[in-house]
Structure 1
Amino acid sequence: MVRAGLNAERVVAAAAELADEVGFEHVGLSALARRFGVKDASLYSHVRGLEDLRTRLALYAGGELIDRIAVAVAGRAGKEALAAFAGAYRAYALEHPGRYAATQIRIDQSLIADSPAMRRTAEITYGMLRAYGLGEPDLTDAVRLLRSTFHGYCALESTGGFGADRDVQASWDKAVDALHLALAHWPRETGGPDGPRGIGATDATGERVETR
């Protein structure tokens, strides 16, 4: 008998908490079962297995991340929107390391296409970049630049990778300034379609996954 009140939403929320506590790679069904005081088999009524659990966790965390970003960028454009986007991204990554790690996994395209959170991620990310006058293929290139910069910086910061005698926040602000200049003076390509194909077909961090 599954404990009363246990459902998929509670299981995923508990997995998110566990990921932040012990690391995403250590999230498993046995650990979650112990958290709820049930046998491992009880969880299979709510998730199909470890891969399904981690996919659900990635979508859950991706939704949290874009909700935070959406609040930060509301009413802003250009450099202000970029700085707000970047700041919200970094704050989430540092505050929720396990959940953030979940957003980096590859997710089945059909699940991504059906996810409102992932569609919203694409809309907000590409919308911010269109304010710089970018169209495809430059939009995709710009998304990859932002993602690699943000992720790389957060990954290094979270592991104490910056050892120089320079304020980490000051370096972050300078990086955002540099990204703004790069976007404002982007070396545009011509002849590509305007706008992302398959809007909403993204991974949990906003990069489009081609659906054709």
Structure 2
Amino acid sequence: MIEWIARKASQSDFVDEVIIATDDERIHDVMKSRGYDVRMTSGGARTGTDRMAEVASQMAGDIFVNLQSDEILSDSRILDQVIEPLLKDPRVPIATIRRKLANRMDRMNPNIVKVVCNQAQYALYFSRSVVPADRDEISPQRPDLSWDQHLGVYAYRRNVLLEFARLPTSPLEELEKLEQLRALDYGFSIFVARTEHESYRVDVPSDLDLLPRNDAAWT
């Protein structure tokens, strides 16, 4: 799974360097033996973003992208879509991505994170609960209404990333176990791009059976 993500990242038009950050020597040794740039980090990082910030603090560069191996990307263009808003607009501090959620059962699944955005495509809130709530059940008559799944890919400006990592865990982050809520809780804006490309979450072992084994990243 880690190598799948590393291969997808290397295929992005906007990615210059792929680094695997881990505090596990087993991961370090296996991925190093396969030719990847692997950096050991200290143990106890609160989130993947905090681990990435530790590596970014020792590097130059303006934009850093957080990829995690439980979010299996089907297409490297997802990365391009996440990074592009920061390249186009210097005012965007953080970007992430969403995809339309059509399946009602997926809306109810707490392992699938939902995101609500404003008209300018900035995040209002992320939740494991069903947001927005369809109080009067009008969605069957309103095809223009939809729910969006958040994909766990983030692009940060370096200065924002380092500041984010210095902040205490926020109450909302602790409740939902979603690191992006720390950013919202402390006043950072998050631009949420949209994609039509598939992504696969691996939250439990049985999710592995749903992965497309014909993808070139497996070989």
TM-score normalised by structure 2 residue count: 0.25
- Which has the higher Rg, Structure 1 or Structure 2? 1
* Alignment TM-score, normalising by the size of structure 1: 0.25
Higher strand share: 2
Richer in helix (by share): 1
